[in-house]
Amino acid sequence: MEKITIFDIEAGKFIDKLAKELKSIPEFEAPEWAKFVKTGPAKARTPFEPDWWFKRAASVLRQLYLKKVVGVSRLRTRYGSKKNRGMGPERFMRGSGKIIRVILQKSEKAGFAEKAAGKKVGRKLTKKGKDFLDSVAASMK
C-alpha cells in the first residue's frame, strides 16, 4: 500500500481540511487583531470569511511542505495581488508580512516548523509538521 501525501490531494480541499484540524490546536489561535486587519495593501476590506486565519495558516504550512524552505518575503509575494488604482493601471502589491510572520511563529511554537540553517534562509517543516500534514492527507483518502 502506497503512502498518501499532499501531492495526491486537490489543494483547496486539503487546505479546508487542514484549517479544520488547526482550529483544534491551541497554538494556532487567531490573534485579537485578526478581525480588523486587511490581508495586504491591495485589498479594500478585511476578509469576509470568519475563519480566514486558519485557512491562511493551512496554506502557509502547505507552501512549506511543497517548497521545503520558504521565507516571509517569498510568501508575501505568493499572497499578493493587484491593487486597483482608479484611473491608473493596476500594480502588483505584496501581501501582509505581519500575518505570515505570526503564522510562522505560531507554527514554530507548535513544533511544526523551524528556522532553516544553511544556504537558504527561511523556515522549513520539522518531522512532526510533515507527519501532521501527511496524516491529514491520509485521512482524506
The DSSP code sequence of 15-64 is HHHHHHHHHT-GGGPPPGGGGT--SSTT-SS--SSTTHHHHHHHHHHHHH
Choose among 112, 105, 106: nearest CA to 129: 112
The number of distinct structural domains making up the chain is 1
* pLDDT score of 87: 93
> Band of the pLDDT at 47, cuts 50, 70, 90?
confident
Residue 102 lies in a domain: yes
Does some domain include residue 1? no
98 within some domain: yes
Q: Is residue 116 one of the residues assigned to a domain? A: yes
Give the model's pLDDT for residue 91.
93
CATH number for the domain spanning 45: value is: 1.10.10.10
To the question of pTM greater than 0.75 for the whole model, the response is: yes
Tell me if 113 sits within 8 A of 107, measured CB to CB: yes
- Look at residue 40 and tell me whether its pLDDT is greater than 90: no
Q: Cβ–Cβ contacts within 10 Å for residue 77, how many? A: 11
Residue 124 located in a structural domain: yes
Query: Residue 55 corresponds to which amino acid?
Result: K
Q: What does the pLDDT read at residue 89? A: 93
Confidence at residue 1, expressed as pLDDT on a 0 to 100 scale: 53
Domain with 68 in it: 6-140
Q: And the C-alpha cell for 102? A: 505570526
pLDDT digits (tens, 9 = 90+) for 1-20: 567 778 878 888 888 888 88
Span 24-35, average pLDDT: 84
pLDDT digits (tens, 9 = 90+) for 80-133: 889 998 999 999 988 888 889 999 989 888 888 888 887 888 888 889 888 888
Alpha carbons 37 and 56: distance in angstroms, whole number: 13
